[in-house]
Chains A and B, each alone.
Chain A
C-alpha cells in the first residue's frame, strides 16, 4: 500500500518534470518557456520529494524535504519573475502571435528594436 503510493507519487512527479522539459524545448518564445519551466518543475520536484519523505518516514528526512519544498515554492516564482523582467528589458522578442504586452507602452518594444524608424515616426507626430 505504501509502496504503491510512493510509486504513484514518483510517477506523477516524473510526469510533471517531463512536461516542463517538453515545454522548454517546444514553446516558441522565452516567456512561455519560463512559465512552463518554473511552474511544472516545482510541482514535479515537490511530488518526488513527498514520495521520498513517505519512503523514509523519519523526522530528519521529512524536515529536509519540507525545507526543500518550502524554499522551492518561495524562490522559483521570484527567480522566474526576475529572469522574465531582465529578458524583457534586454530586448528579448515576444512571439510574433502575442497580442498583449502589458509591460511596455504601445510601441515601446518596436522603438527598442528599430530606434531609427521610431525617431522619424515621433518627428512626424510632433
Chain B
C-alpha cells in the first residue's frame, strides 16, 4: 500500500468523519459558545486535512493555506469571545 492510497483510503475518511461529528455540534449546539467551540475545532480539522492532502498530492503549497487558516482562526475565536463577553447576561 503506497502512502498516497493509504492517505486517501484511511486518513482522509477518518478526518472527514471527525469533521462530520463536529458539524453535528454546530447544528444542535444549544447556545452560541458551543457553536464557536465546534467551529474552532472544524478549522483545526481543515488545517489537518490540507496538510494531509499536501502529502497525498505531493504539493507543498497547500501548507500555505494551513498557515493562513491557523492565523485567522485565532482572530475569529477571540472576536467571538469578545462579542460574547460584551453581550453579557441578557441573551
Contacts and interface: CB of A to CB of B under 8 A. Distances in A.
Interface of B: 3, 6-7, 10-11, 14-15, 17-19, 21-22, 24-25, 31, 33-34, 36-38, 40-41, 44-45, 47-48, 51-52, 54-55, 60, 63-64, 66-67, 70-71, 73-74, 77-78, 80-82, 84-85, 87-89, 91
Nearest to B36: A83
Contacts of B47: 45, 68
Interface of B is mostly: helix
A23 to B, nearest CB: 9
Given A51-B55, A64-B63, A25 B14 contact: no
> DSSP majority for the A interface?
helix
Given A17-B15, A64-B67, 5 more contacts: A45-B47, A64-B63, A83-B77, A86-B33, A92-B31
Contacts of A58: 60
B33 A24 contact: no
7 closest cross-chain pairs (CB), A and B: A21-B18, A86-B84, A82-B81, A87-B33, A75-B74, A21-B21, A79-B77
Contacts of A68: 47, 63, 66-67, 70
Given A7-B3, A10-B7, A25 B33 contact: no
Given A24-B25, A61-B63, A17 B18 contact: yes
Interface residues of A, number: 51
Contacts of A56: 55, 60
Interface of A: 3, 6-7, 10-11, 13-14, 17-18, 20-22, 24-25, 30, 33-34, 37-38, 41-42, 44-45, 48-49, 51-52, 55-56, 58, 60-61, 64-65, 67-68, 71-72, 75, 78-79, 82-83, 85-87, 89-92, 112
